[in-house]
Amino acid sequence: MAEGSARRCLRLEPAAARALLGAADTLLFDCDGVLWRGDTAVAGAAAVLSRLQARAKRLCYVTNNSSRTRDAYAEKLRRLGFPPAEPRQVFGSGYCAARYLSQALPPAAAAYVLGGAALSAELEAVGVPHLGPGPAALAGPGPADWARAPLDPAVRAVLVGFDEHFCYAKLCQALRYLQRGGPDCLLVGTNRDHRLPLEGGATIPGTGCLVKAVEMAAQREAFIIGKPSRYIFDCVASEFKIEPTRTIMVGDRLDTDILMGNDYGLTTLLTLTGVTTLEEVKGHQESDCSSRKSLVPDYYVDSIADLLPALED
């Protein structure tokens, strides 16, 4: 997108798509809601990515989901018929959080984790000691017992990701580690997504709800890894030396995918196969608030499959 031009959220027609894709060398894709919904690929999405790869475009996958490892994402892409991807092309908030802690923590320091097996695996892969995944119980019948539960002396960070076993016992321990360590104990959240959409219109609470609970208890703000943060974008940019003006961010969420792309100079493309409606975008366009206007994408398509005509030989 030309610097200084206003974002109008234009429908991306084939002729304009052909020019846009021709000028790009890198495309960053969100996954759920863009490439697939649940365990079903969006119709035509695999064909689009195969044609992009055949044209030597760099494809990366940037997701806030911390409940899958990058290896698991690469396997899901293969299983759903997408072109083969190496794990290094996948930038999940779990992997990037592990990468951050491996650089920010002193040697042998550990993390207390509110998260699942995938987050644990990503920490293990980069050599960060950790404890906490899985179910937890309060240390006794009353508050005095809870406040005396043993603390691991090596813990220097609290990491909050998606945790199906999130409970009061874990919240207590997280607070106690943060109080004991003060500013020297890092508080890190994988993302702030407040709801996770399911098939049929249902939603469940997202990781952002868990991060907020820990922040409220500790009375401090977490360092957020996932979209729209600068950190996850820098992970991609440093790995592949991408040029923002030749990069397209493709996503279905305004407050994560589109905001990150707009903040860091990428061309942004919204797909309507996920959580966002065109009416929501128009509401932001018509607002006088500059922060709401930053949620407006450059272009939109009904589905990623709408790019197929632009990729015909």
| Catalytically active residues, by annotation | 30, 32
Bridge partners, residue 298, by sequence? none
3-state secondary structure of 224: strand
Q: How many CB atoms lie within 10 A of CB 5?
A: 8
184 sits in the region (left: phi over 0; alpha: psi -120 to 50; else beta) called alpha
Judge whether 227 is annotated as a binding position: yes
Segment (H or E) for 188? strand 186-189
How many Å apart are CA 178 and CA 112, to the nearest integer? 10
Kindly provide the b/e burial profile for residues 153-174, where b requires at least 16 CB atoms within 10 angstroms of the residue's own CB. eebbbbbbbbbeebeebbbbbb
Token output for 236: 């991609």
Judge whether 32 is annotated as a binding position: yes
Token output for 6: 């206003």
* Torsional sign, CA 6, 7, 11, 16: positive
Contact 254, 280 (CB under 8 A): yes
* Backbone Cα Rg of the chain: 20
Token output for 230: 């600068």
Binding positions for Mg(2+) are 30, 32, 252
Binding positions are 30, 32, 227, 252
Binding positions for substrate are 227
